[in-house]
Amino acid sequence: MEQHNWKKADILTSEIIYASGVAGGPKGVVDEQVSCLDLDRIDSLWSKYSEVNGKAQYGLQVQKDIYLDEGNYLDGNYNPIEFARFAKRLGWIAEESERFITFKSYNNLEWAPDSHWSEDNVGHLPARAVYSYFYYGSHGGTLMLNPWVAGIGVRLEGIRLEDRCGYLFFSYGTSFGA
C-alpha cells in the first residue's frame, strides 16, 4: 500500500479476510469468525496510505460512512436497490437501468497509483472481498434489482449488511441452480 499499488493491496486484503473468516473459499459462507483485529489493521492501512489532506479516501470505515450517507441502514437486511446506490457512488457500476446494474469487471476498476486523489474514487477500495460476492465472470456481473443474479442461475441468499467491529460487513450464502 505504501507504494500505492492498489490492486496488489486489494488482493492481499481479500486474502486476509478470506483466511480470517471464510469457510469454503470465496463462494462459501462468510463465517462470523472474521477477526476485528484484522479488520482494524486493514482499515488502518487503507486509511493511512490513501490519506489526502488529512482525510482517508479508501478503507472499510470510509465505505461504511458512504453506505450510511446514502440513506442505508446496518440492520442486517440486504436491499439490492440500496446496495446499487452504494456501488454506484463507489464507482463500481458500468451500466444501470431500472431493472439491473452491471458491475465493471474487477480489472476495470481504478488502479492508478494516484487514483486516491480523485473525488470520484472516494471509498472505491478495498473492493475484491466485497466485489466477489456480486461479481461473476470476466466482463462484470449483472445484479437484478431483486434477489436473483441474471443469467447465471445463482441466487444470493442470506445476504446481510451489518455493522461488525464498527465496519460495514457483508456476509452471504449462495445456492446454484435456476
Q: Write out pLDDT tens, residues 114-137.
A: 998 988 899 999 988 766 655 544
Beta carbons within 10 angstroms of residue 160's beta carbon: 16
CA 2 – CA 44 distance, rounded (Å) = 12
Residues 6 or more apart in contact with residue 124 via CB below 8 angstroms: 58, 90, 91, 92, 109, 110, 115
**What does the domain layout of the chain look like in residue ranges?**
6-176
Residues 6 or more apart in contact with residue 88 via CB below 8 angstroms: 96, 101
CA 48 – CA 136 distance, rounded (Å) = 31
Of how many residues is the chain composed?
Answer: 178
Dump the DSSP string for 25-83: STTSEEPTT--HHHHHHHHHHHHHHT-BTTB--SSHHHHHHHHHHTT---BS---HHHH
Q: Would you state the pLDDT for residue 9?
A: 95
Q: Would you state the pLDDT for residue 156?
A: 44
- Answer yes or no: is pLDDT of 18 > 80: no
| β strands within 81-166, DSSP E | 93-96, 100-103, 142-144, 148-149, 154-164
Q: Would you state the pLDDT for residue 174?
A: 40
In the block, residue with C-alpha cell 469487471: 105
Q: Would you state the pLDDT for residue 175?
A: 35
Tell me, yes or no, if the pTM score tops 0.85: no
- Of 41-45, 74-78, 79-83, which has the strongest mean pLDDT? 41-45
CA 129 – CA 171 distance, rounded (Å) = 10
